Structure 1
Amino acid sequence: MRLQSLLALAATSALLLPLGAHAGKLPGGYLEACVANAQQVNKAMTTDQATKHCDCAGKAIEKNFSDDEIADLDSKDGIDARTMQRAETLVKRVCPPETQKK
């Protein structure tokens, strides 16, 4: 998978996740929305691969971000760039997409 696709997938995952410094909680419907977006970004990704990636990303975000940070990532009125970068870096490091592991 190209780096651009990986970054888009990480950004998509991060945008849909609520983040908190002391273990936040993801919004309802996160997994379904993440899987759908992951497959839009990477057409080669199966539903099973997208589900595993999104589940991993969700757990990592919940563990490392606060509720306020997670809410910021899910915001419709702008996202803090540093919070987004932290989320992208974390998801990329902890949860590489299955299609990349060949």
Structure 2
Amino acid sequence: MRLPSLLAACAVSALLLPLAATAGDFPAGKEKNYMAQCQETAKAQGVDAATATRHCTCGAQAIKKNFTDEEIKDLDSSDGVDAKLMHRAQAAVQAACKPK
């Protein structure tokens, strides 16, 4: 009886591997830039510092979870950002970090 449940768990794990493979990270020093820019924008919109920090931290985690290293690098490129990629990033952050 234990073998089928073990096989089912292995099958589920194998199916989830591609999801984990999309996780990326910010290039060196870029996460601090993201956080600073995000917090500055939030404060300009009248959001208090604690709320801005929570939202920006959540946004950074959502980006890391949903985008590859290359996509994250492209989000901060100096030659312009692909509109579809930017829209995906905004949607991911909004979905993950909507106010409760």
TM above 0.5, one fold? yes
The unaligned stretches of length 5 or more in structure 2 are 1-20
- Sequence identity (%): 43
1:23 is matched with: 23
2:4 is matched with: none
* TM-score calculated relative to the size of structure 1: 0.66
1:51 is matched with: 53
Q: Which structure has more helix as a fraction of its residues? A: 2
2:68 is matched with: 66
Query: Which stretches of structure 1, 4 residues or more, deviate above 3 A after TM superposition?
Result: none
Contact 2:31 2:60 in 1 (8 A): no
1:39 to 36, 43, 46: 43
The unaligned stretches of length 5 or more in structure 1 are 1-20
> How far off its partner does 1:32 sit?
2.6
Larger Rg, first or second structure (1 or 2): 2
* TM-score calculated relative to the size of structure 2: 0.67
What is the Cα-based RMSD across aligned positions, in Å? 1.7
